[in-house]
Structure 1
Amino acid sequence: MLGRGLTADLAKQVAQAELVEALPKRWAHSWGVASRAADVGRILGKDADLLVAAAILHDVGYAPRLAVTGFHPLDGARFLRDEHAADERLMRLVANHSFALLEAEERGLREELAAEFPLLDEPLLVDSLVYCDMTTTTDGGQTTAEERVAEILSRYGDDSVVGRFIRRAAPEIFAAVGRVEAALAAQPR
């Protein structure tokens, strides 16, 4: 259970309801991220279910009916809080996935995001969500973090808000992916 009854299975239902018809490609990516999380969860023990729930919900804020600020991590976390009374850790993971605080800064929303949903002080859990998101293609396949960052830059453009963010975040993304890969390599299969 993830706080007030939102299990990974229920998280899947919530994300599916919001994304599958409105944004099928975003759903495919989210499903792929959750599949990666199911594999990576072995390094997290009791937090494996939390990682899967955060993975499937990380982009729910893109859903048209939820896009209030236009910044999907914040919109998604607020939706989870306001409509689902979700677990605090789950909301904070969704709000801060893949170094969202840097993008929030580009959008003038850093203080708002940090005040409502502070970054968790659980490095392996946070890094694991970065790993799952940044090694999954837009259609749910596997990729490298370098290829994913390049794809994001090509899709949004260097001078866009997302382009500026992803260039700033790339070293942190690559470092997080490296830490998770090292943890996975050290863990017996």
Structure 2
Amino acid sequence: MDWAWKIAEKELAPTIPRRWKHSRGVADRAAGLGTWVGPDTELLASAAVLHDVGYAPRLAVTGFHPLDGARFLRDEHGADERVTRLVANHSFALLEAEERGLREILESEFPLLEDQFLVDALVYCDMTTTPDGEPTTARERVAEIVGRYGDDSIVGRFIRRAEPEIYAAVGRVETAMGNAQPR
């Protein structure tokens, strides 16, 4: 986890400090899921702190941060394949990739993990954390994203398409936590 934190801080803190705050908050949420994630806690925490690294200006090759971040982690750091796949596919990125004409590329380079709980857990952590790193609800987070980007933007269209899936993923994680069934 230390390696992931150092990379995320180096890439995000100097150039986009608010994104760094968000990433720290997402990582904090992931750490809180340790009981339910079990042996994959460090994997989730690493993906959480790194999920937005592709926003770093020097890494923005395609302009699609999940793909840019995952490629950077794979190519420059040899990161674990599961971390790169989580970063590449966080928060239903395939739907945004489709809006950008990049879905086939994302799917071929970084197939979605088969561990649905880990995928859902990262969605939960991202979509219940504000841009300033504070806890929020998924509904408030979706509304904030639409408000920031606008309904007619690529991100606005994507987030509206992903909205039911986001709520379902967050609900599955909350149900698992409420049932207190550690992995």
Taking structure 1 as the reference length, the TM-score comes to 0.95
For residues 188 and 125 of structure 1, the distance between their equivalents in structure 2, rounded to whole angstroms, comes to: 15
Aligned-residue Cα RMSD (Å) equals: 0.9
Displacement over 2 Å in runs of 4+: none
Gaps of 5+ in 1: 1-7
Aligned residues with identical type, % of pairs? 71
- 1:84 equivalenced with 2:77 (yes/no): yes
The match for 1:22 among 12, 15, 20 is 15
Report what 1:120 is aligned to. Answer: 113
Taking structure 2 as the reference length, the TM-score comes to 0.98
Report what 2:48 is aligned to. Answer: 55
Report what 1:175 is aligned to. Answer: 168
Report what 2:122 is aligned to. Answer: 129
Amino acid in the other structure paired with 1:65: R
Cα deviation, residue 44, structure 1: 1.0
Question: SS of the residue aligned with 2:59?
Answer: coil
Report what 2:154 is aligned to. Answer: 161
- 1:10 equivalenced with 2:3 (yes/no): yes
For residues 148 and 135 of structure 1, the distance between their equivalents in structure 2, rounded to whole angstroms, comes to: 6
Question: SS of the residue aligned with 2:57?
Answer: coil
Cα deviation, residue 41, structure 1: 2.3
Amino acid in the other structure paired with 1:31: R
Question: SS of the residue aligned with 2:114?
Answer: coil
Cα deviation, residue 188, structure 1: 6.8
Correspondence list, 1:31-70, <5 A: 31-70=24-63
Question: SS of the residue aligned with 2:28?
Answer: helix
Amino acid in the other structure paired with 2:132: D
For residues 167 and 41 of structure 1, the distance between their equivalents in structure 2, rounded to whole angstroms, comes to: 30
For residues 35 and 121 of structure 2, the distance between their equivalents in structure 1, rounded to whole angstroms, comes to: 11
For residues 42 and 28 of structure 1, the distance between their equivalents in structure 2, rounded to whole angstroms, comes to: 24
- 1:138 equivalenced with 2:154 (yes/no): no
Amino acid in the other structure paired with 1:142: P
Question: SS of the residue aligned with 2:32?
Answer: helix
Is the Cα–Cα contact under 8 Å of residues 54 and 66 in structure 2 kept in the other structure? Answer: yes
The number of aligned residues is 182
Gaps of 5+ in 2: none
